[in-house]
Structure 1
Amino acid sequence: MADGVLQLVCECKHDPWGKQGKDSLAGRLWSHMPGAGELDASETYSEVLSFAKALPLQIHPDKGLAEHLHAVDPKKFGDTNHKPEIAIALSRFESFVGFKPLHQIAELMRLKPLEQFMPTREDFDDGALRQLCETLLSLSPDTVSETITKLQDTPMPQSGDHQHIPSLLDRLNKQYSKFDNGNLVATLLMNYMVVEPGEAVCVPADSIHAYLSGDIIECMARSDNVLNTGFCPRPDRDDVTLFAEALTFKPHSPRDSLLPSKKSAIGLKGRSIEYGPPFSEFNVLGVTLSPTETEKHRVLQSPSILVVTQGSGKMNVGDGTAHDIGEGDVYFAARDAELEMSTKTGLTLYRAYATF
C-alpha cells in the first residue's frame, strides 16, 4: 500500500433471499474479483446486497441494549455497538422501513378481521403501537393464516396508502407462507417504500425494517447485532417481548425515512454527491462520470472504502501512481490518500468514509 490504496479481494455470500446467477448485481460485481469464476445460474448471490425476496424483519439494538445483550449472551451478541445504516439504491428498491403514521394504522385496525387485535387503550399512541406490534408477532400460525385470508376478502380503506396491501400480502405469502407473522406487521404497520437508483433510505438504531427487493449499497455502523422476528425460520426468531421493548418510533412516515443527497465539497470538480446520515460514524460519496469526465477528491483525513458499481476508468493517487478500475473493484484508501478518477466510457463508484 505504498501509494495509499490497497485493492481488496472480497467474497460473496449466498443467503436464500439473494438473487440468482446473473440476475444478482452482487454476483455480477463479485464475478470480476480475481479467481471468482463463472456465476452459477442456480446459486443465490446476496452481498453486496441483491435480494429477490424479503430479508428478515429486524431491528439493530441501540448502544444501551447492545451492551446489555452482550453482557448476557456474548456469543450471540458479539459487540456493544449500535448499527444504524443507510441503503443506496442501485436498481429499483422496495422496502418496509419504520412505522406508518398512527392515524393510518388506526384506520386499518378498524377493519373487521383486525379489530380484535387493537389494544384497549383510550388513545392510539406509540405505546399502543408497541403493544399492537407485540400482539401481531405473538399470534399463532393458524391465527395469522386465518387473518390474512379474511383480509384478502376485505375492501381496503380508500384513504391513505392502503391499496397495495392485498398484492403485498400475496407476494409475501408466496415467499414465506401465510403463517408468517411478519406478513401482518410489514403490510399493516410499516411504511412500504419504493425508491429509484441513486436515492437512499436511512434506518436508525432500533428502527424496524425489512428490505423486499432490489440491489443496494448498504453502509452501517460497526456491529453485527440483530433481532429477527419474521421472514425467517421460527427457530431463528428472537424474543418478541424483547423486540417490542427495543422498538423506536422515529421516523413515523416514509418521507422521513428518505436520506437526501447533496453536492459534496469533497469533489473538487463538482461531480460527487454525499449521503450524510444523522449519526456520526460515516458518510458515503457517490461519483458518476460521463465519458471523458474526471473527478478529484480532497484528502479526507479518514480511512475509506471505494466500490466501483458500473463502467471503467483510472484512479490516480497523489504520488502519480495509476490504477485501472472497473466494475466490482473494491479498494481501501488510507486517510491521507489523494484520489482522482477519470473515464473514457463512463464510471460510477461509491466511497464510504469514517466521520468520527
Structure 2
Amino acid sequence: MELNCSIQNYEWGRKGSDSIIANLMKSSNPDFIINESLPYAELWMGTHPNGPSLLKGKNIFLEEYVRDNNHVLGKVLIDKYNGKIPFLLKVESVRKALSIQVHPSKEQAEMLHQSSPNIYKDDNHKPELAVALSKFETLCGFRPISEIKNYLRSIPELCFVIGHNEISHMFSSSESNFLDILKNCFINLMSQETEIVAEQLKKLIKRLSDLDETTRQSLKADLLERLYSDYPDDVGCFCIYLFNHVTLQPGEAMYIAANEPHAYLSGDCIECMSCSDNVVRAGLTPKLKDVETLISILSYTCEPASAKLFKPIKEDECTQIFKPPVQDFAVAKIVIPPRKSYDLIPRSTASIMIVISGNIEISDSQIFNKGSALFLSAEESISIKTTSCSEPVMIFQAFANV
C-alpha cells in the first residue's frame, strides 16, 4: 500500500529544489508544487502523531489501518509492542546545523515525560541510525582525550570560557579520572554566561581570520565560521573542539545511542529511530535549551571519529541490512541493477520502504516512481522490476529488529 507522508518544514532544512525531499515528492506526485523559498527538512514515514502517514487515495491514517487490521503487523509487534509500529523512518535534508542534542534512554524518557510533559511529550527513547545519501557532516561523541587537549593548548578563548582552574586540572589529571574532569569542563562551558561566550567567540573568530591556511585548517576555522554565521554568539560553536567532526560518504552509516551528544551539520540522509520525538537541546538552536538535563544524562565517552561508523551486514547480492543494538528497528538498503528483477526478502514484521532512486514495477504491474513510500505487511513477498535500462534502483526499508 502506498503512503502519503508528512513533510516537516524546519528552518534548518534545504530550501526548494535544493532539497532531496522536495524532489522526491515531486517525482512521486506530479501535482506537488515546490515552493523555492520553503525549507523541506524532513519526510516522516510512520505513525508518530507529529507527522502521521496516510494511506494514499484514502482518508485513513496508517495507525488507524494497523489498529483495525492487526494481523498485518506480525506476531512480535502485536505481542511486544501492543500492536504499534515501533519505528519512524525519515529522509532528512540539512542546510545548516541542527541543535547540539542528546536523546534520553527509555527510563530517562519516562521520568522526563512525567516531570515535564509539555516539553517531553512522549515517554519513549529515541536511538537512531543515519545512512548518508550524500556527503553528510555531523558532530558526534567526545573526541579522544589527546585531541581535546591539543585543541585546548591552541585555543585560549575556549580555555577562558571553561575556566582556567578546570583546564589546569585536566592537564594534570591521570587518564583514570579524566572523564570526571571532562564532565566538569563541559558543565562550565555550557553554563557560562552568554556575554562571556559571545566575547570569546568574537575574539577567536577575529584571531582565526589572521592566521595562515594551514593553521586555520588545523583549528577548523571554516567550520567554526560557518556555525558562527548561522548561530552567532552560541556556545555550541565551541563544541567542535570537544566533539568528533564526522563526515559520512554516501552509503556510510552511524548509530547514535541514548545519551550520546551529536548534531547534524549538512547533507542528506535516511534516518530511522524509535517512534519518539524526545530531544534534549543545549546549543546551536533557537529552540528551548535544557542544559541542566543534557549535562546530567550525557555520556562522557571519548573515542575516535572512526568508531562512529556503523557497518551493514550483506544479506544477498542486492540487500545490506543495518542492525543496531535495539529491537525497535533495523534498516535494509536495497540496490537493484538496471533491467533486473528482485524478490524482496520477506520480514517477520510490518515494514515501510521508500524508493530513493529509479522507478520500480511491483508484481501486480503497478509502477512507483522515486519518492514513493510503501507499507508492507509482515511476511509480505513482492517481486520488484526496475523500469530503466540504465539507472539502478535504490530502496530503503525499515522494520523491527527481531
- Using a 3 Å threshold, how does the CA distance of structure 1 residues 148 and 36 change in structure 2: closer, same or farther? farther
Structure 1: unaligned runs, 5 residues or longer:
1-5
Aligned to 2:88: none
- Using a 3 Å threshold, how does the CA distance of structure 1 residues 151 and 31 change in structure 2: closer, same or farther? same
TM-superposed CA distance for 1:141, in Å, is 2.7
The structure with the largest helix share of the pair is 2
Q: Is the 8 A contact 1:30 1:36 kept in 2?
A: no
1:83 pairs with 2:131? no
TM-superposed CA distance for 1:106, in Å, is 1.9
Aligned to 1:73: 116
Aligned to 1:242: 293
Structure 2: unaligned runs, 5 residues or longer:
43-90
- Using a 3 Å threshold, how does the CA distance of structure 1 residues 90 and 134 change in structure 2: closer, same or farther? same
Name which of 5, 8, 22 aligns with 2:3.
8
The one-letter amino acid of 1:242's match is: T
Aligned to 2:305: 254
Partners of 1:45 and 1:163 lie apart in 2 by: 33
Partners of 2:148 and 2:288 lie apart in 1 by: 25
Aligned pairs for 1:102-121 (under 5 A) are 102-111=145-154, 112-116=156-160, 117=162, 119=166, 121=169
Aligned residue pairs total 337
Aligned to 2:393: 347
Q: Is the 8 A contact 2:28 2:369 kept in 1?
A: no
TM-score under structure 1 length normalisation: 0.88
Three-state SS of the structure 2 residue aligned to 1:352 is strand
1:188 pairs with 2:241? yes
Partners of 1:250 and 1:144 lie apart in 2 by: 25
TM-score under structure 2 length normalisation: 0.79
- Using a 3 Å threshold, how does the CA distance of structure 1 residues 164 and 313 change in structure 2: closer, same or farther? farther
Q: Is the 8 A contact 2:321 2:330 kept in 1?
A: yes
Q: Is the 8 A contact 1:288 1:348 kept in 2?
A: yes
Q: Is the 8 A contact 1:52 1:212 kept in 2?
A: yes
Partners of 1:298 and 1:167 lie apart in 2 by: 45
Partners of 1:113 and 1:257 lie apart in 2 by: 28
Aligned pairs for 1:137-156 (under 5 A) are 137-152=190-205, 153=207
TM-superposed CA distance for 1:250, in Å, is 4.1
Aligned pairs for 1:254-273 (under 5 A) are 254-264=305-315, 267=316, 270-273=317-320
Q: Is the 8 A contact 2:136 2:247 kept in 1?
A: yes
Deviates more, 1:18-27 or 1:34-43: 34-43
Partners of 1:245 and 1:251 lie apart in 2 by: 17
Deviates more, 1:249-258 or 1:346-355: 249-258
Q: For residues 106-153 of structure 1, give each alpha carbon's deviation from its aligned partner in whole angstroms, at most 9, with x where no partner exists.
A: 222233323332525352622222222222112223322222233342
- Using a 3 Å threshold, how does the CA distance of structure 1 residues 251 and 106 change in structure 2: closer, same or farther? closer
Partners of 1:10 and 1:86 lie apart in 2 by: 20
